[in-house]
Structure 1
Amino acid sequence: MLTHLTLINFALADHLALDIEQGFNVLTGETGAGKSLLLDALSACLGERTDTNYVRYGADKADVTAVFSYQPDSAEAHWLTEHELEDDTGEIHLRRVIFATGRSKAWINGRPSSLAELKEIGRLLVQLYSQHSQQQLLEPPYPKHWLDRYNNFAEPAQAVRDAYVTWQNNIRQHQAALDAQATRIQKIQSLELQIEELEEVIQTDYRETEQEFDRLSHHEHIMQDCGYSLNVLDEAEQNITQEIASIIRRLESHAGRSEHLSNIYNSLLNAQSEIDDATASLRQFIDRQSFDPERMEQLNTTLEVFHRLARKYRTQPELLKQEYETWQQELEQLHQLEDPETLAEQVELSHQAFIQKAEHLDQIRREAAIPLAKQLTEQVKPLALPEAHFEFKFEPMEQANAEGLSTIQLLFTANKGIPPQPLARVASGGELSRIALVMQVMNAEKTEAEVLVFDEIDVGISGGTAEVVGRLLADLAQHVQLLCITHQAQVAAQSDQHLLVKKQQTDPASSTIIELDEEHRILELARMSGGVEISETTLQHAKQLRQLKFQST
């Protein structure tokens, strides 16, 4: 869960450090106070796009840090382990610095990270729902995606998409085979000639041949230098081997008198051993060397062939073998094209596999749609929609695609005796907002994220409906941590922690967030209910709202 948030020079925040509690947390405040401040900062830490407006006026950068706690076996724990970002403290520190120039930097547990990594871990930690989410209900794909998400159909849905892609790829390959018939034979003959020309030369390793030729070319010089070296090491009247042996004998009697001298003595013994081994190896090397002019001519001829073919095929001599292998693969593929029927069989098999997976997905979607529509109906009714009714409508597509075999519509009616119609056609704005709210809460119950953020999703509701929404969110907060920006006193009254956003007329202006105690919560609820002038009536109403919270718990 989110435990701490620190904002430095972020928008209207000068320096703000905030502890977040488990359960249901609300943010309230007057219009323009900066209620979105905390959510904007959190979004920045989760890798969302930022701009220079987030940098406080007069500052050169904004700095935001979000701290999360997590369980050892959670998805985020496994992600940290995979990316070698785990921390012994059992916490996740996400930091984002936004510069006035427009650049930004990110860190995860103190290590520099990319925005892509922030987004990956962010999706595991936090799920955000905005006041504009109701517009998603009007988009054709939404009912299908919501049905899949609520019932955990992501895996079979992905299997259908993958099978569709395989089928389409096989269709393209088959068509390419048919289109290539005209030029196939000519290309095969060309490749066969090229492969034949290289087949013998690539049996020889170019680098080894080049190295051997270089050694024979410098045979005389090598033998002179090796002979000189062997003479200095072991054969001259005053050679290195004898001199080191003399030094060792002189120091041997003193090695026990000084640890430093002992170390030097041992180092010289090791050096003597290394020199002896090198001398022996050098002598063996000299004894085995012989100059073979015929072998040198043979190597030279081979290298000339390598270079001639490399020029011909516009590559490097050492890459000829790689070219040979590439041509073989191309030739094998072209031979497969000799029988388009084989590819046609692959098309048919992949189509059957796609249809099989798509039919399975369509079946489980239809089976899940009935109870889900019933559950949605029951959840929406308390929100001043007593006669609400939902159905999912499946219609076969003319042509199956990666999304399955059927289009799925969510039908709705708010009035008894009137058949349900497509949601976008019959639902009013207020009805859409309430339906979107319930669908989001139902989704939130299924999410793996431990932190859910609701940004003014209760817009368009009031009175008893808002009270029901508050209880709905409070129940959800028994399982996950909630952060909710709200204008509804009935919703705020159900919270466990109440955070008030206030604008201060400093120079420049700034916003602060304070945690309210019970007395100040009553005053804020009264302000939300009755406006600037707080009367005894609004105070009593605010107290009653809080009592409802305690009675429900």
Structure 2
Amino acid sequence: MLSHITLIDFALADHLELEIHQGFNVLTGETGAGKSLLLDALSACLGERSDATQVRYGKEKAEVIATFGYQANSPEQAWLKEHELEEDESNEIVIRRVIFSTGRSKAWINGRPTSLTELKTLGRLLVLLYSQHSQQQLLDPPYPKRWLDRYSGLQAQATQVKSAYHAWQKAAKQYQSALDAQHTRATQIAQLEQQLEDVEPLLEINYQVIEQEYDRLSHHETMMQDCASIMYALDESEQNLLQELGNVLRRAEAQQSRSPQLEQVYNSIVNAQSELEDASATLRQFVDRQSFDPERMETLNQQLEQFHRLARKYRIQPDELIAQQAIWQAELEQLNFLDNPEKLAEHVAELEQSFLNDAEQLNDARLAVADDVAQKLSEQVKPLALPEALFKFDFQPFDTPNAEGLSAIQLLFTANKGIPPQPLARVASGGELSRIALVMQVMNASKADAEVLVFDEIDVGISGGTAEIVGRLLANLADHVQILCITHQAQVAAQSDQHLLVKKQQTDPASSTIVALGEPERIHELARMSGGVEINKTTLQHAKQLRELKFSS
């Protein structure tokens, strides 16, 4: 769960620190107050795109620090162990993101620099975000199938079907390409065999190693002269560096106890002396082992000439020859494989059958759970002013099986008793889509691995008793996960465990802050949300009643 977040010069925030509670947390505030401030900061901290506009006006950088707790044996812990980022036994993840006014950014996980790719991967394990525009996903044809797979735990099977399909298609294309090239096969084989024969004498030779050795032998005389000069200066001359450094070190040692800075100077000189002594010893060993071998130099010269000749012949760099040999070998094996076209065709057929088996198993699994899931969805939607809601998953076989499986899956819906379900996009109104999307998100969230769920104004388009039921749905879900929710609905906010208020302050420049409300302040904010600008006894009484509903439900 998210336990703490700090914003420094981020957007409208000057310096903001928040403790986030377990359970159901809501953020409210007047229009324009900056309710998205916390979610934008959290998104940036989890690797999403950032830009210079997120840096507070007049500042050089913005900073976000978020602390998450995690359970033992969780996916987050496994990820941390894999990347050697686990911190002792604290069971905490501290993520820091710094965004500069130039547009650049840096990130750290538990104090170690990390890439945004790694940050995004970890972020998906920690937090799931649902936005107010999620109902548009319902109109995307693949969405019902993907939602069904996720809710029913069939994602791994679906991924396996896609992999099997792509393996089959790749092999089929290779087979067709090989057949198309059959008439040139003999010529290609001869050419590849010649190329492999050319490179074979070089397979056990490392080009970079012999090139460096040849360079060393070519400059043997000047190299040894310079090495001798270095050794003379280090410890052989009457006033050599090590001797002079020893004199300096004795003086620094005598004064080190009189100041922390002098102690630091002394330690630096000790380190320098150690480094120079090591350098002198290493250099002496190197010089003792050197000898000029004309025959070895001639051998190296011949090998390098061979590398360069073949590199010119095949128009590649000399150090790429060995890697190219592996490519030629693979191409030759593929052409030789065509020598038995029946075997290649059998391979394609085997992959096709493997795909069809996986796809059939997935289709059967989807059919087995579809009716039960549709019934659960219907029951969850009915309390949201849709008492006759009925859903059904419709399976229509593809003309040709593909990576998605054997069947197209539509979500059918009716809000009226006695009327058969029709495709959702055709019959559902905007308000109905909003409520259906909300329920589907809550149902999926209950199956999520992430322990933090963020809902960004997903209750848009609902009010009254429907909003109260949505609040209860989220409150019940918060028994299992931590929820952050931006809302305009007092009925939803009243069900929360922690109420955070976003306020804009007309400082210069303007700033926003977020404060956790106590019970009296919470009643006042609920009255503002439900009653508008004027807050009176009636709106306050209504706000108290909304809070009482939470504790009585």
TM bin, normalised by shorter chain, reads 0.7 to 0.9
Q: Distance between the aligned counterparts of 1:506 and 1:43, measured in 2?
A: 26
Cα gap change, 1:530 to 1:362, in 2 (>3 Å)? same
User: What's the secondary structure of 1:59's corresponding residue?
Assistant: coil
Q: Distance between the aligned counterparts of 2:26 and 2:169, measured in 1?
A: 49
Q: Distance between the aligned counterparts of 1:20 and 1:528, measured in 2?
A: 22
Task: Tell me if structure 2 keeps the 8 A contact 1:177–1:340.
Answer: no
State the match for 1:41 in structure 2: 41
Q: Distance between the aligned counterparts of 2:369 and 2:534, measured in 1?
A: 51
State the match for 2:183 in structure 1: 182
State the match for 1:6 in structure 2: 6
Paired residues for 1:94-173 under 5 Å:
94-173=95-174
State the match for 2:405 in structure 1: 404
User: What's the secondary structure of 2:62's corresponding residue?
Assistant: strand
Residues 228-286 of structure 1 show CA distances to partners (whole Å, capped at 9, x for unaligned) of xxxxxxxxxxxxxxxxxxxxxxxxxxxxxxxxxxxxxxxxxxxxxxxxxx9xx99xxx9
Q: Distance between the aligned counterparts of 2:416 and 2:119, measured in 1?
A: 46
Q: Distance between the aligned counterparts of 1:206 and 1:512, measured in 2?
A: 62
Task: Tell me if structure 2 keeps the 8 A contact 1:206–1:317.
Answer: no
Paired AA for residue 96 in structure 2? R
CA shift, 1:335, in A, is: 1.5
Q: Which runs of 5+ in 1 are unaligned?
A: 226-277
State the match for 2:444 in structure 1: 443
Cα gap change, 1:325 to 1:368, in 2 (>3 Å)? closer
State the match for 1:417 in structure 2: 418
Q: Distance between the aligned counterparts of 2:418 and 2:162, measured in 1?
A: 40
TM-score (normalizing by structure 2): 0.80
Paired residues for 1:333-348 under 5 Å:
333-348=334-349
State the match for 2:269 in structure 1: none
State the match for 1:529 in structure 2: 530
Q: Distance between the aligned counterparts of 1:432 and 1:140, measured in 2?
A: 14
State the match for 2:76 in structure 1: 76
State the match for 1:245 in structure 2: none
Paired AA for residue 512 in structure 1? T
Structure 1 or 2, whichever has the larger Rg, is 1
The answer as to 2:484 corresponding to 1:483 is: yes
Q: Distance between the aligned counterparts of 2:101 and 2:75, measured in 1?
A: 35
Cα gap change, 1:178 to 1:297, in 2 (>3 Å)? same
The answer as to 2:517 corresponding to 1:516 is: yes
Cα gap change, 1:335 to 1:97, in 2 (>3 Å)? same
Paired AA for residue 444 in structure 2? N
Cα gap change, 1:372 to 1:324, in 2 (>3 Å)? closer
State the match for 1:32 in structure 2: 32
Which is further off, 139-148 or 89-98?
89-98
The answer as to 2:407 corresponding to 1:391 is: no
Q: Distance between the aligned counterparts of 1:434 and 1:54, measured in 2?
A: 32
Q: Distance between the aligned counterparts of 1:45 and 1:299, measured in 2?
A: 54
User: What's the secondary structure of 1:399's corresponding residue?
Assistant: strand
Residues 352-373 of structure 1 show CA distances to partners (whole Å, capped at 9, x for unaligned) of 1111100110111011110000
User: What's the secondary structure of 2:538's corresponding residue?
Assistant: helix
Cα gap change, 1:505 to 1:342, in 2 (>3 Å)? same
CA shift, 1:398, in A, is: 1.2
Paired AA for residue 16 in structure 2? L
User: What's the secondary structure of 2:412's corresponding residue?
Assistant: strand
Q: Distance between the aligned counterparts of 1:303 and 1:106, measured in 2?
A: 45
Q: Distance between the aligned counterparts of 1:123 and 1:450, measured in 2?
A: 10
Paired residues for 1:334-373 under 5 Å:
334-373=335-374
State the match for 1:18 in structure 2: 18
User: What's the secondary structure of 2:397's corresponding residue?
Assistant: strand
CA shift, 1:83, in A, is: 0.8
Cα gap change, 1:205 to 1:551, in 2 (>3 Å)? closer
Q: Distance between the aligned counterparts of 2:380 and 2:373, measured in 1?
A: 10
Task: Tell me if structure 2 keeps the 8 A contact 1:206–1:303.
Answer: no
Paired residues for 1:528-547 under 5 Å:
528-547=529-548
Q: Distance between the aligned counterparts of 1:419 and 1:327, measured in 2?
A: 62
Q: Which runs of 5+ in 2 are unaligned?
A: 225-284
Cα gap change, 1:195 to 1:484, in 2 (>3 Å)? closer
Cα gap change, 1:316 to 1:437, in 2 (>3 Å)? closer
Cα gap change, 1:337 to 1:56, in 2 (>3 Å)? same
State the match for 2:494 in structure 1: 493
Q: Distance between the aligned counterparts of 1:204 and 1:13, measured in 2?
A: 62
State the match for 1:238 in structure 2: none
Residues 49-100 of structure 1 show CA distances to partners (whole Å, capped at 9, x for unaligned) of 1222211111121111111111121110111111111112321111111111
Task: Tell me if structure 2 keeps the 8 A contact 1:388–1:415.
Answer: yes
Cα gap change, 1:442 to 1:319, in 2 (>3 Å)? closer
Paired AA for residue 26 in structure 2? V
Q: What's the % identity of the aligned pairs?
A: 68
The answer as to 2:50 corresponding to 1:50 is: yes
User: What's the secondary structure of 1:357's corresponding residue?
Assistant: helix
Q: Distance between the aligned counterparts of 1:458 and 1:370, measured in 2?
A: 27
Task: Tell me if structure 2 keeps the 8 A contact 1:173–1:343.
Answer: no
TM-score (normalizing by structure 1): 0.80
Give the root-mean-square deviation of aligned CA atoms. 3.3
